[in-house]
A and B are shown apart, each in its own frame.
Chain A
Amino acid sequence: MNPNGEMVLPEVLQALADQFEDVTWLKSHGQDVASMPAELWKPFAEAAKGAGFDFCSDVTAVDWMRQRPERFEVVANLLSMEHGVRLRITTALGRKDPTVDSLTSIWPGAGFGEREAYDMFGISFEGHPDLTRILMPDDWEGHPLRKDFGVGSVPVQFKESHKV
C-alpha cells in the first residue's frame, strides 16, 4: 500500500492487472492475491504463465459453507522463479455442481492438486486428463473435506462398562 491507500503491485503483476479488469486484487499478510470469476480462471492463468509464472506450486480448495454466498473457493499458488514473486489466484464456485477449467494444459503439475481437490471437495476440473479420486478409495461416497462431512468417531468400549 502506498500512502494514498492504493495497492502497489510488483511490476510483473501490474501488467496482468491492466490486462484483466474483472480481477480483484488484494494483499493478504504481504502476499498478492487475485480473485476472479470462474470464466477468467484459465485465461488469467495463461496470461500469468506468459508473464513469467512458470511454476504452479499448489492447487487446493476451501469450503465456505454457510459463510459465503458462493460455497467453494479454488486456490492456486503460482510462483515465478525468474522474478521471485508468488501469486495466489482464487475463484469462487457455487454450491451446485462446482466446475472450473483445469490448469493442467498450462502447468501439467497442477494435475495431482486438482485431483485432490476433486477427491476432497467434489470440484470438477474441465479438461483434466484423469479426474479420478486420488487419496480416497474409488468407491468412497462423499467428499471428506467438505464442512458437512462428519469427522466420525469410534465409540470406546471399556471392559467393565455397560453396553451402549
Chain B
Amino acid sequence: MTDEKTIDATEATETVDLWVAGTEEPQFQPTDEGQQEMFVEETDERLAKQLGSVIDDDYLFDDDVEDDERMIVNMGPQHPSTHGVLRLQIEMEGEVIRRTKPIIGYLHTGMEKTAEQLTFGQGPTNVTRMDYLAPLHGELAYSLAVERLLDIEVPERAAAIRVLMTELNRISSHLVALATNGMDIGALSMMLYGFRERESILAFFEKTTGLRMNHNYIRPGGVAADLPPGWKDDVAAILADLPVRLAQYDDLLKENPIWLSRTQGVGVITQEEAKAFSITGPILRATGVNWDLRKAFPYSGIENYEFDVPVGENGDVYDRYRMRVLEIIESLKIVEQAMDRMPKGDYRIDDRKVTPPPRARIDESMEALIHHFKLFTEGFKVPAGETYVAVESPRGELGCYMVSDGEANPYRMHTRAPSFYNLQALPITMADSLMADTIATIASMDPVMGDVDR
C-alpha cells in the first residue's frame, strides 16, 4: 500500500459538519431580518393564487403549450378501473386530456372464426361468451338470425320465455353497471348492493338454465328447457325486492352532492356525436334520442308488452346512470307482464329437423334416437342466404350478421358488438376534460371487453 492511497482520518471527519452525540452542539446561525420577509417580487395577484382565493384555470383553453409539457400516459390494460383489459393511450397537458386512443384486442379469441367451425346448434355456446354480462342477448340475436334463415317461428311460450329471461338479464347487467360505476367514482356501497341484488337474478338463472353465466339457454328453435317448477315464486320475489332496493339506491346516489359533482356535466356526448359515431343503447338515449330496437324493430313479440323508453337530456355521466336505473324499472314492468301472461304450450318448436325429440321418446323410439344423434353430431342444415338481426342488449344494438351457404355451419357469422362501437366515443368524450373525470367516463360507457374483442 502506497502513501497516496491512505486516507487521513482526521481530515475526513473535520470536513463533515455533523453533530455527534456527546460532543458540543453546533451553533445555528439565526436568520436575519431580510430573510424573514416574503419574496420581494410577490405581487398581490400571485399571492391570491397561492392562497387559493383566485382560481387559475385558464390552462383549459390555452393552446400555446410547449412540447415538453405534453405527456403520454398509458392506462391499462391491467388497470382495475378500465373494466377488463382496455388500454388507453392518453396525451395530456398538465391535468387536461387532449387526445385519447383506445387500444383493444387483448381479449380477442377469434370467436367469429370459431363460429365458422361450430354447427348452428353449437353456436349459442360460442356467442354466449362474448358479452358475458348479457349472455342471453347474444344467444337471442344468434338464434333469431338462424331462425330467420330457416324461416321458422318459435312457439308463443318460447318467445315469452325469451322475453322474460332477456329482460331479467338486462336488469342484472345494469345492476353491474351501476355497481361498477359507483365503485369507480368512490361510492363503494353501491358496488356491494348492486352485486348483491344481481345475485338473486343469477340464482334464478342457475335454477332455470343450470349456469349462472354463459347459459347456452336460448337456442335456434326455442329454449333449451322449460321454466323450472316454482319459477313464478322466484320471479315474484325478484319483482317485490328490486323496487325497494332501487329506491334505496336513489336515496344513496340520486341527490348526493358528491355524486352529482362527479357526474353532472362530465363526459358529455351530444346527439350529433352519438349518431355520427354509431353509439347505441343507454348512451344514445341519455343524449335525448328516443331510439330503442325493442320499439323500432320488435322481436320475440316484445311489441305486445307495455313499457316506456326512458330518454335523457344532457348526455353526461349522470344521465347515463339515470338511464340505467330507469331501464331497470321498465324491464321490471316487462318481466311482470311476461310472468302474468306466460302462455302454455311447447318451449321449443316441434320440428325434428331443428330441435331434438323429447327425452321420453328417445327411450322408446329408434328413429327418435337416430334423430337426436344426428342433430348433435352433424347438426342441421340451413338454407343459403344472409341476414342481419339486431336486438337491444343492455349496451345497445347487438346485431348478428349471418351468412349460410347451405351447410350445417355458418359460412360467416359476424357480431355487431355494441361495446365495440361505443368505445369509439371515448376519444371525443374525453378530449379537453380532466384526468380525474376519465374513470367516471369509462365507467358510464359500461364497456364489456369480451364484447369489444370477441
Neighbour of B279 across the interface among A109, A110, A111, A120, CB < 8 A: A109
Name 9 interchain pairs, CB-CB below 8 A, sorted by A. Answer: A31-B387, A55-B278, A62-B411, A81-B275, A109-B277, A112-B421, A113-B421, A136-B108, A151-B114
Neighbour of A88 across the interface among B388, B421, B424, CB < 8 A: B388
How extensive is the interface on chain B, given as a class?
35 or more
Q: CB of B210 within 8 A of chain A? A: no
Q: In the complex the two chains form, is A60's CB within 8 Å of B401's CB?
A: yes
Q: CB of B245 within 8 A of chain A? A: no
**Distance in Å: Cβ of B87 to nearest Cβ of chain A:** 12
Q: CB of A4 within 8 A of chain B? A: no
Within 8 A of A (CB), among B383-417: 385-388, 390, 397, 399, 401, 403, 405, 411-412, 414, 416
The 3 closest A-B pairs by CB, nearest first: A109-B278, A135-B105, A58-B416
Q: CB of B316 within 8 A of chain A? A: no
Closest chain A residue to B110 by CB distance?
A144
Q: CB of A54 within 8 A of chain B? A: yes
Within 8 A of A (CB), among B96-132: 104-105, 108, 110, 112-114, 117
B contact residues around A133 at 8 Å (CB):
105
Q: In the complex the two chains form, is A28's CB within 8 Å of B113's CB?
A: no
When each residue 1-40 of chain A gets 1 if its CB lies under 8 Å from chain B and 0 otherwise, what string results? Answer: 0000000000000000000000000001101000000000
Within 8 A of B (CB), among A48-69: 54-58, 60, 62-63, 67
Given the contacts A135-B108, A144-B110, A57 and B387 also touching, CB distance less than 8 Å:
no
Q: CB of B420 within 8 A of chain A? A: yes
A contact residues around B297 at 8 Å (CB):
84, 86
Q: CB of B136 within 8 A of chain A? A: no
Neighbour of A110 across the interface among B104, B151, B278, B399, CB < 8 A: B278
Q: In the complex the two chains form, is B110's CB within 8 Å of A81's CB?
A: no
Q: CB of B360 within 8 A of chain A? A: no
Within 8 A of A (CB), among B294-353: 296-297
Given the contacts A60-B401, A77-B416, A134 and B276 also touching, CB distance less than 8 Å:
no
Q: Which residues of B contact A (CB under 8 A)?
A: 104-105, 108, 110, 112-114, 117, 148-149, 151, 275-279, 289, 291, 296-297, 385-388, 390, 397, 399, 401, 403, 405, 411-412, 414, 416, 420-421, 423-424, 453-454
Q: How far is the CA of A112 from the CA of B101 in the complex (A)?
A: 12
Q: How far is the CA of A58 from the CA of B275 in the complex (A)?
A: 13
The count of chain A contact residues (Cβ–Cβ below 8 Å) is 36
Given the contacts A62-B403, A75-B401, A109-B421, A28 and B386 also touching, CB distance less than 8 Å:
yes
Q: In the complex the two chains form, is A111's CB within 8 Å of B453's CB?
A: no
Q: Which residues of A contact B (CB under 8 A)?
A: 28-29, 31, 54-58, 60, 62-63, 67, 75, 77, 81, 84, 86, 88, 107-113, 116, 120, 133-137, 144-145, 149, 151
Q: In the complex the two chains form, is B388's CB within 8 Å of A145's CB?
A: no
Q: How far is the CA of A18 from the CA of B296 in the complex (A)?
A: 27
Q: In the complex the two chains form, is B405's CB within 8 Å of A145's CB?
A: no
Q: How far is the CA of A110 from the CA of B276 in the complex (A)?
A: 9
Q: In the complex the two chains form, is A107's CB within 8 Å of B278's CB?
A: yes
Q: In the complex the two chains form, is A60's CB within 8 Å of B414's CB?
A: yes
If A58-B278, A120-B112 are given as contacts, then 13 extra A-B residue pairs at C-beta distance below 8 Å, sorted by A number, are: A28-B385, A28-B387, A29-B148, A57-B390, A57-B397, A58-B414, A60-B414, A67-B405, A81-B275, A108-B276, A109-B424, A135-B104, A151-B113
Q: In the complex the two chains form, is A58's CB within 8 Å of B399's CB?
A: yes
Q: In the complex the two chains form, is B275's CB within 8 Å of A54's CB?
A: yes
Which secondary structure dominates chain B's binding surface?
A: mixed
Q: How far is the CA of A29 from the CA of B423 in the complex (A)?
A: 31
Q: How far is the CA of A78 from the CA of B116 in the complex (A)?
A: 25
Closest chain B residue to A55 by CB distance?
B275
Q: In the complex the two chains form, is A57's CB within 8 Å of B453's CB?
A: no
Q: How far is the CA of A43 from the CA of B168 in the complex (A)?
A: 44
B contact residues around A86 at 8 Å (CB):
297, 388
Q: In the complex the two chains form, is B113's CB within 8 Å of A81's CB?
A: no
Q: How far is the CA of A27 from the CA of B2 in the complex (A)?
A: 100
Neighbour of A111 across the interface among B113, B388, B401, B424, CB < 8 A: B424
Q: In the complex the two chains form, is B412's CB within 8 Å of A108's CB?
A: no
Q: How far is the CA of A58 from the CA of B453 in the complex (A)?
A: 15
**Distance in Å: Cβ of B350 to nearest Cβ of chain A:** 22
Q: In the complex the two chains form, is A151's CB within 8 Å of B276's CB?
A: no
Q: How far is the CA of A95 from the CA of B32 in the complex (A)?
A: 86
A contact residues around B279 at 8 Å (CB):
109
Closest chain B residue to A112 by CB distance?
B424
**Distance in Å: Cβ of A61 to nearest Cβ of chain B:** 9
Neighbour of B416 across the interface among A57, A111, A145, CB < 8 A: A57
Q: How far is the CA of A81 from the CA of B399 in the complex (A)?
A: 16
Given the contacts A28-B385, A28-B386, A77 and B399 also touching, CB distance less than 8 Å:
yes
B contact residues around A81 at 8 Å (CB):
275, 289, 291, 296
Given the contacts A55-B275, A108-B276, A84 and B412 also touching, CB distance less than 8 Å:
no
Q: How far is the CA of A62 from the CA of B148 in the complex (A)?
A: 19
Q: In the complex the two chains form, is B277's CB within 8 Å of A108's CB?
A: yes
Q: How far is the CA of A19 from the CA of B45 in the complex (A)?
A: 66
B contact residues around A109 at 8 Å (CB):
276-279, 421, 424
**Distance in Å: Cβ of A50 to nearest Cβ of chain B:** 15
Q: How far is the CA of A63 from the CA of B296 in the complex (A)?
A: 31
Q: How far is the CA of A60 from the CA of B454 in the complex (A)?
A: 14
Q: How far is the CA of A81 from the CA of B295 in the complex (A)?
A: 12
Q: In the complex the two chains form, is B412's CB within 8 Å of A62's CB?
A: yes
